[in-house]
A and B are shown apart, each in its own frame.
Chain A
Amino acid sequence: MKKTLQKAWAVIRGNTQLKIGLVLLCLLLLTALLAPLLAPYEPFFLSDELVAAPSGVHPLGTDGLGRDVLSMLIFGTRTSLVVGITAAFIAGIIGTLLGGVAGYFGGRTDAVLGELINIFMMMPTFFLVLIVVALFGSGLFNVMVVMGLTSWVGNAKLMRAQAMSLRQRTFVRASEAIGESRLSILFRHVIPNGIFPIIANTTMGIASAILTESSLAFLGLGDPNIISWGQVIQSGKSYLTNGWWICLFGGLAIIYTVVTFYLIGDGLNRVLSPKLRDLGKEGS
């Protein structure tokens, strides 16, 4: 275990993107975890100062209902992280399973699943998400599940390609020859060995899930009981000229978070590319 950690540390040190990304991520996680301690006010607290400019009392100003922008943004971190990670995670699981089964089992299973993947790739998923969320209610749960159910295609294609190449590897064939069940091989050998690029892709998926969630919140389709950055921007829309800080800082928070996950995902990809080349050699 220690050796793995040491290896991981060496990898991180060698990669600028990962370094910066992880630092930013730590700040985000701290903000989310310590939100009640960090935020100067309750996010829903309606003070008397409506649309107040940034000042010592309200560092980032207040919105149309007198809510402190800084506090809302701090608490909004939780929403973004939870939604982003969960949605991407769901998409990752679905994509890995479908792609792994399609790539490893091949034959007619692959023909059917492969076609399913192609079809889903062609679907205008954002509208589907809009429709579902709008019609079935915009609770956090719905949003996360629907986003996960519509963004698995990239992961599936990656895993499928991985499974197809791993299928030819000696250690997989050896397991088949021994008589291990195909399902067991899939879960014990194929998926663990092919999962790396999907991890990088899923990290990028977190970034895009956060963007999508903020879009939904902006359209008024987010969970009204929870603070979300998109919601902040939406509430600031009417005060664009005289209360520009509301929209501005809301957007900056989103950009910060998305950049963080892009950096990590990109860094992971760069780290994994030499590894991907090694996948061609036996026994790695």
Chain B
Amino acid sequence: MVKYVGKRTMTGLLCIVMALCINFIIIHAAPGDPIRLLAGTDAATPEMIAALTEKYGLDQPVHIQFIRYAGNLLRGDMGTSIYTNEPVAKEIMDRLGPTILLALSASLTALLLGTMLGIFCARHVGSGLDMALGSVSYLFDSTPSFWLGLMLILVFASTLHILPTSGMVDLRGRYTGLAHALDVVRHLILPGMSLSLTLIPYYFRIARSSVIQVMNEDFITTLRATGMPEKDIFNKYVFRNAILPTVTIFGIQLAFLITGASIVEIVFAWPGLGSFMMTAISRRDYPLLMGIYLIMSICVAVMMIVVDVLYSVLDPRISHDAER
């Protein structure tokens, strides 16, 4: 088991390193000079440009820059944002919270609803409800989340006025404590829904097909032959076996949702990392871009490792094979 965790962690680390390299190369190979962008509107003197270039080390050859960057990273320093002059780490941390809040709540909602509906449909295969839910699921699967977000804003915010159109908090009200939390929740509903509704089909499909498959296994017939009641068979044996694929999907889903939520963040002006990424890109803010991508990669890698380990705990066949 420890070996398995170790192996996956190694892959994770390799992934992060590789992502870092690719990222670095791409960003620094791209056209567009951040210094000019930064100094763009002002009539920048060559001395200013030279000073800024030196400050951010952009006059050095690329590999030197990389080494310096890596060295700083190990010391916990992600550099300074070219645009805002704040430490990158701080900028990112300020916005990581909202992104995780959105991604996590959307994922969990989708997991619970999708799995419940999938299990229900598996137990009533072929029924009218099964067919209907299946078709609806298909539609939502094909819907772009940003468009769904816009439609939801149109209906619930602009027309019905029962939910806010954007942002995470009501800027005019100054709530604290519970009221603040409720305000955030109120703002969370529409962006959360935009994401969940497009995620539910995945969980629905997986849960449904997994339960159907397990229910047709021989050991379920054996259990029936022993006189065990259907309820017990389902809760103890079908569920425990059928839940495995869902767990895998959840981890992967959450990992990528942290990146996939960015579009919804932009639609709803949600103050998260995703929307911030776009700003960083347009400003060619290299240190910020590197920092965001690094954090994202770490999040995804960690999520995947956790999921793999969790899966190997739930399915005793996995670590057994890995250790052979």
Do A and B come into direct contact in the complex, CB within 8 Å? yes
Chain A 124-144 against B: per-residue CB contact (8 Å), 1 yes, 0 no? Answer: 101110111011110000000
Residue of A128, A215, A240, A251 near B153 (CB, 8 A) is A240
- A130 to B296: give the CA distance in the assembly, Å: 13
A262: CB under 8 A from chain B?
yes
Which one of A67-75, A115-123, A195-203 contacts B?
A115-123
A248: CB under 8 A from chain B?
yes
Check B277–A219 contact: CB distance below 8 A.
no
Check B260–A122 contact: CB distance below 8 A.
no
Check A119–B138 contact: CB distance below 8 A.
no
Residue of A122, A134, A215, A259 near B263 (CB, 8 A) is A215
Residue of B148, B258, B278, B301 near A122 (CB, 8 A) is B301
B179: CB under 8 A from chain A?
no
Q: A134-B282, A135-B30 are in contact. Are A254 and B14 (CB under 8 A)?
A: no
Check A233–B256 contact: CB distance below 8 A.
no
B18 → chain A, closest Cβ, in Å? 6
Provide the residues of chain B in CB contact with A205, threshold 8 Å: none
Provide the residues of chain A in CB contact with B262, threshold 8 Å: 126-127, 130
- A130 to B15: give the CA distance in the assembly, Å: 19
Check B154–A241 contact: CB distance below 8 A.
yes
Interface size class of B (residues with CB under 8 A): 35 or more
8 Å CB interface, A202-218 against B: 207, 211, 214-215, 218
Q: Which residue of A lies closest to B259 (CB)?
A: A124
B130: CB under 8 A from chain A?
no
Question: How many residue pairs, one in A and one in B, have C-beta atoms under 8 Å apart?
Answer: 127
Check B146–A233 contact: CB distance below 8 A.
yes
8 Å CB interface, A222-259 against B: 230, 233, 237, 240-241, 244, 247-248, 250-251, 254-255, 258-259
- A255 to B142: give the CA distance in the assembly, Å: 5
Chain B 274-286 against A: per-residue CB contact (8 Å), 1 yes, 0 no? Answer: 0001100110100
Provide the residues of chain A in CB contact with B12, threshold 8 Å: 122
Q: A123-B19, A124-B296 are in contact. Are A240 and B142 (CB under 8 A)?
A: no
Provide the residues of chain A in CB contact with B301, threshold 8 Å: 122
Provide the residues of chain A in CB contact with B73, threshold 8 Å: none
Residue of B14, B255, B267, B277 near A127 (CB, 8 A) is B277
Provide the residues of chain A in CB contact with B255, threshold 8 Å: 122, 124
Q: A124-B300, A136-B31 are in contact. Are A130 and B147 (CB under 8 A)?
A: no
Check B11–A118 contact: CB distance below 8 A.
yes
Interface size class of A (residues with CB under 8 A): 35 or more
8 Å CB interface, A141-183 against B: none
Check B141–A254 contact: CB distance below 8 A.
no
B293: CB under 8 A from chain A?
yes
Check A219–B263 contact: CB distance below 8 A.
yes
Provide the residues of chain A in CB contact with B169, threshold 8 Å: none
A79 → chain B, closest Cβ, in Å? 15
- A118 to B14: give the CA distance in the assembly, Å: 10
Check A251–B18 contact: CB distance below 8 A.
no
Check B27–A135 contact: CB distance below 8 A.
yes
Residue of B23, B142, B263 near A131 (CB, 8 A) is B23
8 Å CB interface, B250-308 against A: 255-256, 258-260, 262-263, 266-267, 277-278, 281-282, 284, 289, 292-293, 296-297, 300-301, 304
22 A-B residue pairs with CB within 8 Å: A118-B11, A119-B11, A122-B301, A124-B296, A126-B262, A127-B296, A130-B277, A130-B278, A131-B293, A132-B26, A135-B30, A135-B32, A215-B263, A219-B263, A233-B150, A240-B153, A247-B151, A250-B147, A251-B148, A254-B142, A255-B139, A262-B141
**What would 19 more interface pairs be, CB under 8 Å, given A240-B150, A254-B147, A262-B138?**
A115-B14, A119-B14, A119-B18, A122-B12, A122-B15, A122-B255, A122-B304, A123-B297, A124-B293, A124-B300, A128-B23, A128-B26, A135-B32, A211-B142, A218-B146, A240-B158, A251-B143, A251-B148, A254-B143
A→B interface (CB under 8 Å): 115, 118-119, 121-124, 126-128, 130-132, 134-137, 207, 211, 214-215, 218-219, 230, 233, 237, 240-241, 244, 247-248, 250-251, 254-255, 258-259, 262-263
B→A interface (CB under 8 Å): 11-12, 14-15, 18-19, 22-23, 26-27, 30-32, 138-139, 141-144, 146-148, 150-151, 153-154, 158-159, 255-256, 258-260, 262-263, 266-267, 277-278, 281-282, 284, 289, 292-293, 296-297, 300-301, 304
